[in-house]
Chain A
């Protein structure tokens, strides 16, 4: 049992949920979205944003921490934002998620080879070579990245930088059918208002 935002107990456990938010690519959109999370006390565990194949449309992958009530509220509150075209709850379908991380590991003449071997096992790429450190690039799901970091920890991790997770649902369908972009209605992408900042 855990207490939700409103002091009521619920039986759904706290865990991380991954959602995709398709938004109009306008100034302040990121602020609107993050400020909604902040104001309502929802926890963003990770957030990645990028443009899409459709001009004027960006896509965010957000990992939300909390129980099912919080996730549901977050989704519904997102759907109310004018800039949000669609929210995809990845609980509903199979998806692929990936994260990229850069890891700088300390090496000595004695550990150099061992570190390289472990990296090969993880298919981590070396992106920088120094006398006292190697920098690796690893992509993968959360488990793989965590395992890699744990393996490297004994050698001395100098620093890491993770991009946050990105996700796409599996299959040949697009998450957002093309006609969504042209349909009339408040959620559609009207021709972008000159250079109005929304």
Chain B
């Protein structure tokens, strides 16, 4: 057995049997060895960025480690965006890269890049493996690290000659999944004391509580707590529940943002108070005692001071809260919140919002919805009604255009039993559209919706509101491809809707098509995403319409 074979066998021993990759000189031994492992499914993407996002999509949909592979130099650097995205959103992925032979490292050899140096700040950890015998041990540790504590990306760089070296070591058994730390009792007791006296409490839940959905639901219902889920937390608490207030922050709901401003106790679980959530930090939840539950001590009081820090696993903490529940009536507060919930934006019959509403209304609670980044992403986040966790894949922390489509490929392969739908903009879709090849090669039944507003819509909105309509370099309408013909060129079924009346039948033809298909919704470009908290403003300064936004200028 050589190093390459030991690598494949270790992945298989860890139940990893799908990887996304792209070959090249420095990983030829890996690909050569792959022919001896028929149980390993390798998905050939068309750009390594696609491999990294597909691995993320896999990981976000399943909670299990996603794996991507690239060759040295340019292959490895193409993973950088996906690794950064995974770091920001705490996604457990392992990236395996080839490198030049050991003797050439540091010589500026052909296709050499110091990928461990490059990825240091964007991975949880990385390794340069210098002997074949270390490979299984390093990989096992990398897999464990990726999913332990606060999950994240880990990179393993393997020089070509290490792949070819004779392996004489032992294949390691997978590490057991590490037990997550329970929060300290005094801290959580203190939190309970404060919560019991709350008149206007809210529970705010982020992506870190993704695997604690059941416990969070119990917690909220036992205490009668209104729940806000962040962009990353959508689905952890069912949108159909009357306690749900929506998403907070820049494009959050009126109810969520007003609730934050007026709350007297805010319990944040598994979230990191991103600036897109808080708006101006000094005015965020300024009336509230803040209880922050997080597994990552560095997140506690990083941005928002936690009056009561509770370090530990979200699920364990939530269970403790439920076990010591006091049902809080707080009728006045709930009535007020109900009133605010009535305030949401109604979208004109033909607009991106209308098209997206029509699409998300067709989704079942099991369907997985991915998005790209931009207006369509925020509209989808506002309009979709997630009932379950891990049904919503979006690039939150990094805001990576090009993420949605390959992520949908990853999720579709992770669970062929569920439907994977992606909503993308005409700009972002073109950043990774080459993965249409991957879709057709493996007949992956992803349903793609391109919301074509002929613009880099979100940038256009900012130029409109904050730069006196100077639309600098955001028009795509003169040079977009014909998306139907583009799909056709790859052999993918496609339909187009250009107005409200066409939308229903287009959606039906699109979703009912057996296999991958693309829907292009050609929408007017003048609509912005509202409500909106202007950058740098506090949540109280939220505006609900374009006119209101202009007036505030």
Contact = CB atoms under 8 A, between A and B. Distances in A.
A36 B116 contact: no
Interface stretch (B7-15, B118-126, B464-472): B118-126
Interface string A179-193: 000000010000001
Contacts of B130: 194-197
Nearest to B299: A76
A51 interface: no
Contacts of B345: none
A15 to B, nearest CB: 19
A32 interface: yes
A197 B117 contact: no
A76 B297 contact: yes
Contact of B134 (A8, A80, A196): A196
B545 interface: no
B281 A82 contact: no
A153 interface: no
B253 to A, nearest CB: 25
Interface residues of B, number: 29
A195 to B, nearest CB: 4
B116 A196 contact: no
A117 interface: no
B121 A36 contact: yes
A162 interface: no
B127 interface: yes
Contacts of B148: 186
A79 to B, nearest CB: 7
Given A28-B116, A79-B297, A80-B298, A8 B125 contact: no
7 contacts: A6-B303, A31-B120, A35-B120, A81-B125, A193-B137, A196-B137, A198-B127
B138 interface: yes
A2 interface: no
Interface string B491-522: 00000000000000000000000000000000
Interface in A22-75: 28, 31-32, 35-36, 39, 69, 72-73
A77 interface: yes
B281 A198 contact: no
A194 B134 contact: yes
Given A8-B282, A194-B134, A197-B127, 8 more contacts: A8-B281, A31-B120, A69-B301, A76-B300, A186-B145, A193-B138, A194-B133, A195-B130
Interface residues of A toward B: which range? Answer: 20 to 34
A196 B116 CA distance: 12
Contacts of B128: 196-197
B484 to A, nearest CB: 44
List the 4 closest A-B pairs by CB distance, nearest first.
A76-B298, A197-B128, A194-B134, A82-B125
Contacts of B127: 193, 196-198
Contact of B131 (A9, A32, A35, A196): A196
B296 interface: yes
Contacts of A193: 127, 134, 137-138, 141
B298 A77 contact: yes
A77 B121 CA distance: 12
B222 interface: no
A7 interface: yes
Contacts of B297: 76, 79
A32 B208 CA distance: 25
